[in-house]
Chain A
Amino acid sequence: MQIELKTSLKALEKAKKLGPKGVLKRLDKMGVVGRGGASFPTGRKWKIALETSSDEKFVICNADEGEPGTFKDKLIIKKNAETMIEGILIAAYTIGAKRCFIYLRGEYDHLRIELETKIKEIIKKSGLAVTIEIIRGAGAYICGEETSIIQSIMGNRGHAMYKPPYPPVEGLWGKPTIVNNVETLTGVSQSILFDDWDSSLRLFSLSGNVENPGVYEFPLGVKMSKILDVVRSKNKIKAVSFGCFGGFMKIKKNMEITHENICKEGCQHGAFSMIFIDETHNIVDVSYTIAKFYTYESCGKCTPCREGTIRLLERIKQVKEGKATKKDLELLKEFAEHVQETSLCGLGQSAGNYILTGLKHFKSDYLEYLK
């Protein structure tokens, strides 16, 4: 896999030769975009932080991989942490940061000691006067969101904040801060060193009712049939859920996995976490699991999300228990839309996707449960 290629501090060397502006140009030219889900051009994010004058700047590597069904960053931390750390150093060099952080989710604490050793080794070898501290996440999904991660590091509850200001302008302690995902920073090192680095390759976390779950690397535009051939399943796969947040999609074997095609189905691909669901499962049952997830993880700051996710759980439970009517399904849809439209951050704004896409593509599963 491309993601496993090591850059052995040669990318940092090259970055120093290019200079900060040269690095930005290189990232744009190579097509480096964020891999946490939003696909924002990395060079553009860094440019803002570089051009904002400040006595202090920060870099945060987001290793708070919390989306259920996602485990690609864990693979990188296990197999190629060196290249990710080098990416952090390149970011620090480019924007002029001295203090950097890796926000490691609490569930990955078992990877921490080894990661700490690698950080020490690489910083020493690099000769840069930069520190990288590991922040030990403590089990909060919302802290994968960039403004929440910043609040968490500052010692606050991990609440999401209104944007703007955006972190590259005003982040940690009010100073310019860039937040980049593990896969993005690994790609930064590789794209700077290797001229044949392929920007179309993405890591896919594949799980669910399949025989060969795991992390795979495919180019954008890969056909669904190819993915199905690789993961294989005992029973017929009827649906894919993009983590918990991205919604349910029907399996169309000829479909090319692109941003546009997934959007057309009313779904969001995020970090390409695909949970496959076979025909022995009802979408309402999976929705019940997802509803519990949202209720548990809502940070509680804004009312539509805090209260709305509880109401959605109640209504899904009502369907599951055979107590709902057709009219209740209409209300459910209306409610899900309302939560999405009025919530503050990405968590609440996606908290109805599984219901809206479930009702759109798998209505018959809901009808089976009606009284």
Chain B
Amino acid sequence: MDKILINVLKEVQDNDGYISEKAMKNISVKYNVPLAKLYGVATFYAMFKIEKQGEHIIEICGSPSCMLNNGQKIEDFLEKELKIEVGKTTKNKKFSLYKTSCIGCCDEAPAMLMDGKPYTNLTIEKIKKILKKY
């Protein structure tokens, strides 16, 4: 097989913000992959979402390195500020909040990704400023 399925799904995720049933059906026909298998793959990877997401996706790093450097405070603050729990989307559909295993910014902990872009050495003040930018 020449086309890499995971790259195809990633493109859809990037363009549409999630992988809809309709998109899955299209991929299934185009690449001759059973829909059930496709669903299995799309739900295996943390970065693939099968439900509509907020405009921006925040991924807080949950590694021990971040946890040892006030990572929990950052998580608590984001939940309070956005008025949602991890795993949910804000009412105005602006932000979806997730926690990831590690984003590889352990030397600049605590850290998070906003739409894939790393923000590091986070403080509550810094997060307030970042949220305002989006």
Contact = CB atoms under 8 A, between A and B. Distances in A.
Given A66-B101, A68-B63, A209-B68, A155 B107 contact: no
Interface string A242-266: 0010000000000000000000000
Given A155-B1, A155-B33, A110 B117 contact: yes
Given A136-B7, A155-B5, A66 B118 contact: no
B46 A139 contact: yes
B64 A74 contact: no
A2 interface: no
Contacts of B37: 156
Contact of B64 (A135, A157, A241): A241
A157 B59 CA distance: 22
A68 B40 contact: no
A214 B108 CA distance: 8
A74 B102 CA distance: 13
B84 interface: no
A5 interface: no
A194 interface: no
Interface residues of B, number: 39
B41 A208 contact: no
User: In the complex, which of the residues A157, A273, A277, A281 has the most CB atoms of chain B within 10 Å of its own CB atom?
Assistant: A157
A207 B62 contact: no
Interface in A199-241: 205-209, 213-215, 241
Contacts of B118: 110
Contacts of B7: 135-136
Contact of B6 (A74, A136, A207, A275): A136
Contacts of A158: 44-45
A107 B118 CA distance: 9
B88 interface: no
B65 A208 contact: yes
22 contacts: A65-B104, A68-B65, A68-B101, A69-B63, A69-B64, A71-B107, A138-B46, A138-B47, A141-B101, A157-B41, A205-B107, A207-B65, A208-B68, A209-B68, A214-B107, A215-B107, A244-B64, A277-B64, A285-B67, A289-B67, A296-B101, A299-B44
